[in-house]
Structures are given as structure tokens and as C-alpha cells.
Structure 1
Amino acid sequence: MKANNRKRTHDNGTTSPPVSQRPLRRQKSKIPAMPEKFDTRVLPKIVWVVYETEGLWWPGEIINESKSEIPLKVKRFGRIKPNTIEISDPSSEYIVPFCHSLSSTFREDGLKSSRKNEFLRAFELAQEKYVEDNDGLPTAYWAIQTVVSAKSQRKKIDKPIAVGQSNDNYSNLDHDKMQDDYSTELSELDASLKIPGESVLAHYRKNKLYYPARIDEFKKPNKYRITFLDGARNTCRRDEFYTIYEKKFQTCP
């Protein structure tokens, strides 16, 4: 099946490549681009860093007393080994600011299910630290707000009476009512979600894979506006994304 090569333009005017190029792994190219070197003193403390033997981008924090020191030491968030890595020749090939859009340079090869949970947790920790270091200001792509998450108040629907029991007509009516109630339930906001700001794995219809994203807003009926890790936006139904607390979070592709 041919990959979808249609590009999308974001609100900030930048254009991201196809969805197959989401920012987790370095893109291999026959003609590698020259890495962009820069003054490490202008880097924020919170960054994206890649470990060469893994080729996997991960959020981390610069721990040098002075960012002009070489090698640059970065402690990665979450439980990942090695926890601290050193960069002897800092360039955009190995380290970029946390608010940087990686989509123009890197592609997503997919995380193993065992790492999905830990990656999302590390991403949340990096977000919190970034906001703390920037006087409460959010990154370019995410709006971090404190929202009290209420427990879902969904209706409990009784099973319909089986056909052939004492009242078949009532059974059919009850079944129709159940379907109507279920449709209404899907069209209502899931009150257990933190909106905006809930971290999820969201389904992308073109390639049927799931990517890290955050929920931006609820749009009736049963539509949620989300933003993927690279800044691309999409609209999903409630059954097309999973939070860290749902069982399918660990098993979705």
C-alpha cells in the first residue's frame, strides 16, 4: 500500500511531512544533510536528545553547570538506560530545544509497546519542567492547564430482555432505547478526560497506527480535536484514542 505523501500546514505556518515522518527516530537518507551546529549557551535546559546507538529521540535536561561545557551532559526523563548521555559535538543532529518541531527532520518508526507508557510519562515530566522553567508559559505546541478531572458520569445501560422471553415487544423497544442511549452517550463529553491537556495515544486513519498526542478540545458529536507530537492536528472519535489508564493503551499498535 502506498504511503500518504500529502503534506499538512499547521497554524504556525510550518509544513510537516507525511504522517510516516513523526519525530521519534532519526531519518536515514542516502544523502545526509549537514547537521546544524549552534552555540550551546542559547539552548534551554529542557531538550530533545538522541542516543546514537538507539537512534531514539527522548526528552531530557541539560545538567552541566555551564552549557558552554563540552561534553554536554543530558539526563533523560523517565526510566531509560543510559539515564545520562554525553554529547561531545553538539549539533541539531543530536540535540534540539524541547519546543522545536522535529517533524521536518525525523520520522516515526513506532515504539515497542513496552516503551509507549514510559515515553509518554517522560514527555509529561519534560512538559512540567519546561513550564516551570519558563514561568508557567507553555511550549509552542501544548497548552498546559490545570483542570480538575471528574469521574465519568456515564449512564449504566441494562441488558435488553432476550427475544423469546415474556415480552418480545418490550424487548425490542428496550433494545432500541439502549441503542439511542448509547449513541447519546458517545456524543457527550467524557468527563474523566482533562481537556485541554490529556496525554493519549491517538489513531491516525491513514496508516492505522497510534501516536503520542494531547487533547485540545471537545467538538460535538463525539469529536475531539487533538495535536500530535510534531504539531500536526487531527479530529478523533472517543474510541480512536486511549489514555494511560485504559487497558488498550498497552496493546494498540
Structure 2
Amino acid sequence: MQTRRQKQMATTQELQAESHGAVMEDELMHDSNIDSIRDDEPMEDAVTSVPELPVTSVPELPVTLVKTRRRLSEPMPTAASLKRMKAKSTTPTPSSMLQKSIRTMEIPHSAILTQVVWVFDDKYQWWPGKIKPYPPQNNQAKVTRFGSVKPKTITVDCVETSILSFEHTSRERFRHSGKLSSHARAFQEAYKEASAEQLKDDDGLPNMDDVFNHLSTLSATPSPPIQKDTVCHKATRADIEYVPDPSLSIPGEWVLAQAERSLYYPGRIESFNSKTNKYKVELATGHYPSLERKRFYTQYQKEFLTCPLGEMTKELDENFADPELESDVKDLYPALYAIVAGTYDEAGRLRAFLQGGKAMNQLAQRVGAGEFTHGQDLLIRSILESEFLPDLCTTKQTPRLMGLSPTVSGTAATRAEHSRPATTAATTGGSPMRRAGDITINYSDSKRMQFVMDVLLPETITRLTMRRKGMTYADADKSVLEGKRPYSTDPYWVDDILAARESFLDGSRA
């Protein structure tokens, strides 16, 4: 009996111990749950530490963390309710969800595209074009390419492998990316058109600070300090190096530059700052401002003829005449027309012009007056403009020279014979340089002007020097370059710029 009773008591004690242990475990879990949802720590305070998201679409947070209020006097949770609460505790917190959303957010490439862009296709590789309409829609851009390419308009996805802003830091790489020889000339023309179009659109390019701020806003995470990102972006901007307009000859390019308000004055480009993307210009007024490219025009731009000039006196003798020189220049027409037709190029100027790029830009540095005076130099220019660019220019010398009496070096019949190319051009229709067979037949007006000044003018002066001094062609060409007025001491550059403007009139005003 004693033994059975002892066994019953032991069993009862074990059951009580198990019951007491379960109760203690429930109480501990209950207390920990109460601490996690206590009312004196509202949910709003836990979320305020998360930085505010940029203005983009972020998925709504799931309403899984709803505060529950449980008093100590409420019944102890059951095992099933504890299991459900444990499952709920695995739901991600708002902070973790925000970080995940930002990490997976895509940066829209179209948001930082300019209107003038580089666009890629398999045939032409990177080519300049303009987005129409702007801005791109549905992450696709319809781009009209500059120059003579087919098809003219293409549609591409707004991704970095297909389209980039025209001011992309690698655009020099695009310009020298091994273009096919058959596309080289068309590419140079397209690049110049794109550069001019970019300068026309004051709002076409975003401020670079805005671009970097836009990128930093989209790519920022809630936790890292903002100051660190800002410093990083400033360092990146400082590393950008701009490149000058490839069509400019630096130093020495003649320009009409905007100095005050909306008035323009003759100037010469002295240097280019790759950090500020500005040009230092020497003005006829004696000032040396640093100007953006859109604030000056070269003699090959239409705006050079129409921009409003400030007060400036031109010290030129408009009544200057040299009948013998005029006759000698006309004697050279056959050789000059051979160059226009592409059948003669002893000095290599035609080849350099057709090559384009740096070779073409260096031609302007090989133009000199030789032994001729400033007045004679201007007269030669006027005669060439009258003959080869009659649809673009009006010269004050030409009407007077047409009625000159015969001279020792030429008779009236001789002059009439040498003026026949112009007559032939009139009968066949259009300017002599617009006729079939001319290499310049598809050139723009500005490029035709450049061809006459950089190719035909130095050829004329070299041949005149060869005739007057009895030299060979090579010696005469060398003599002209040696006699060129130094850039820094040229006293006539202001007169030359004003004379160049007055020699040409816009076709609509002629």
C-alpha cells in the first residue's frame, strides 16, 4: 500500500511540474510580444527615420503591420495564436521594403537625353541626329539623322547602346571611330549640321549640374550620407574635358562676336578652355572676353552676314582699282576651273579640303597675301567671289572693272575670252560651281565660300607670284607662305573681317 501511494504522489508532482512549465513558457512569450507592440512606441516614430523617396512611383506598402493593443489582463494567448504571430513576424519591415524598392528601381535613360543626340545603327555606327518629337515617348525615340543618309529617320530604344546625348563625354571617340571612307564626307557634314543645330537651341542642352543631381536623386539609397554622394558627383564633373568646335582654326579664326547686349564686333579667336568650354576672343574694341560658341559667328555661317554690328569704322579705299591685276587674275580662270572640276591639284589643297577634319581646317593657315598689298589682296578676293559665287555676293569693284580700258598685259578681247566661263555658267543655268561635274555641286553655301577662300584664293596668289617673279610653282608657294603677315602683328585683320561681311549678301537680300 505504501509503495502504490508513493507512486501516485510522484505522478501527480510530475504533472504539476509540466503544467507549471507550460504556463511559464506562455507567460514569457506573452511578455516578449507585449514589448514588441507596446503603445508608448508608436509605429509612426519607427518610420520617420527612413529618408523620403524621390518623386517616382513606389509600390504601396502592404498593410501587414497593424498595431494591436493587448492589456496584461487579457487572456493568455494560445499555442495556435502564438504560431500565427510568429508567422506574421517574418513580414519585412517598412525600411527593408523601401530599400528593396530603391535597389530595383530603373533609371530612365530618356530623362537625360538632349534634343540633338548620337544614334547608333549597324550601317553608319554612331551618327548625329535630332529627336522629333521631343522628349521621347514610351522609352523610344524617333530620330531624324543629319546629312545624306538613308533611311533619314529611325526609331530606337532609349538605351545607352543605341542613343546618347550629343554632348556625351566620348563624342570625340564617335567622330574618330573608324568611319568608312564612303561615309567620311557625309559624316563631317552631318557633324557640322548637328553642332549648328545644338547652338541654335538654347534650351536643347540641360545644365550639367541638373543632370548629375537627377542621377544622384534616382540612385541614392536611404542610409548613406547625402554629402558623400554630392562630393563624388562634383569630382566627376571636374573630370569632364570639353573639345573645341572642329571647324575652327585656333588661333586666328575670324569671327563676329557678341560683346555687349546684342551687338557684334570683329574678333579673332585666341584660345580654347577645355574646362569651361569657352573661347578667348580678341575683339576690335581691345577687350578679351571668354565666350561660349553660340556667341560668335565665323565667315562661313549665315549669321555672319545678318548679325547686328556695333559702331566700327572700316579704313578701306572703296575706289581702289588695279586693271593689270584684274586681268592677270582672269588669265588664271582655266587652271582654277580645273581645280573646281577635280582634275588638277598640284599643291594638294583640294585633297586636304575633301579629306575634311583637321586637314581642311589647316588650309586657312596656309592663306597669305605674299608680296601683294592689302588693297590688292582684297581686290583678288572680290574678283574670285564675283566669278565663282555670283549668286551669293555683290562687289563694288566688279561693275567698275567690267568697263576698264585695255592694259599692257591684256586686251579687251583677251579679257572677254577669260570671262567666258562665267558666261557659259549663265547659259547652262546656275552658279559655275553648281554645274554638273563640279565637286562642290552638293555643297552648302557656307562650304562653297570656304572652298573659294581656302583653296582657290591661295592657288591664285601662288600663280600670280610665279608669273611675276619667274619662279617655279613650289618656290612661289613657299614664298607666299613666308611673306604671310604674322597673326600677332597683322594690322589689317579688322578690315579683312568687315570686308568679308560686305562682300557677301544673303540670297534673300540680294
Q: Under a length normalisation based on structure 2, what TM-score does the superposition of the two structures give? A: 0.24
Q: Under a length normalisation based on structure 1, what TM-score does the superposition of the two structures give? A: 0.44
- Higher share in helix: 2
- Higher share in strand: 1
Look at both structures and tell me which one has the larger radius of gyration over its CA atoms.
2
